[in-house]
Amino acid sequence: MKNISTKRFSVLSSVVLVFAAAVCSTAADSVNPVLRPPKGAQVAIVVFEDLQCPQCRRVAPILEQASKTYKIPLVRHDFPLPMHNWSYDAAVMARYFDVTSKALGNEFRDYIFSNQLEINPQNLRGYAEKFAGEHKVGLPFVIDPQGKFAAEVNADRDLGKAIKLEHTPTVYIVSSRHPDKPYVEMKDLSQLYALIDAMMKE
């Protein structure tokens, strides 16, 4: 009887473990890929930002510093809001610079943030030309003739809409270490480092 009970317990334990693994797998699979770390990383910071958004300007350098401090990726998504009159065009320009390198595209975004208070629809092109000249990159008269960069910005915006984004910046700490809770939204900037610490724990 003892052996039979032990076997039954063993079989039952196996079934429970398989079921638990399946539940975790299902939970992880149901997460939008945008809320997962990029390939090769276990933890990352994901931000949806609008280049005309004052709070995005304030948060951007803090996120970059956290990324360097923890040596984790910072994944930036363009989410231009309809009430802003030049952020969409600036995002398209950033995509143009992304072609040279993603680092250059992000440097352009930071450059736009640093000059945000002076930029308007009329002088945006001038700022882009200055940036391109300083980095020895050509800037064509028509930046996006095929609409490719606009499509990329729209795709990012659609990603945000798919996860019910309501404001910018929206910041998530995402992790592959917690299948039951693979991401957490940063609601308070003062909690950024504590959230990263929590998500980095096994």
Q: The domain containing residue 94 runs over which residues?
A: 33-200
Q: Are residues 106 and 18 in the same domain?
A: no
> Strands 43-49 and 183-185: what pairing?
unpaired
Q: Are residues 165 and 191 in the same domain?
A: yes
Q: Are residues 39 and 26 in the same domain?
A: no
Q: Are residues 24 and 71 in the same domain?
A: no
Tens of each residue's pLDDT in the chain, 202 residues: 444 444 444 433 433 333 333 333 334 456 788 999 999 999 999 999 999 999 999 999 999 999 999 999 999 999 999 999 999 999 999 999 999 999 999 999 999 999 999 999 999 999 999 999 999 999 999 999 999 999 999 999 999 999 999 899 999 999 998 888 899 999 999 999 999 999 998 6
Helix pair angle (54-70, 102-114), 10° resolution: 140
Q: Are residues 85 and 97 in the same domain?
A: yes
Work out how many domains the chain is built from and give that number. 2
Q: Are residues 21 and 43 in the same domain?
A: no
Q: Are residues 49 and 120 in the same domain?
A: yes
Q: Are residues 116 and 191 in the same domain?
A: yes
Instruction: Specify the CATH number for the domain of residue 113.
Output: 3.40.30.10
Q: What is the pLDDT of residue 95?
A: 98
Q: Are residues 44 and 120 in the same domain?
A: yes
- The model carries a pTM of 0.82
Q: Are residues 122 and 67 in the same domain?
A: yes
Q: What is the pLDDT of residue 181?
A: 87
Q: Are residues 19 and 41 in the same domain?
A: no
Q: Are residues 81 and 19 in the same domain?
A: no
Q: What is the pLDDT of residue 29?
A: 52
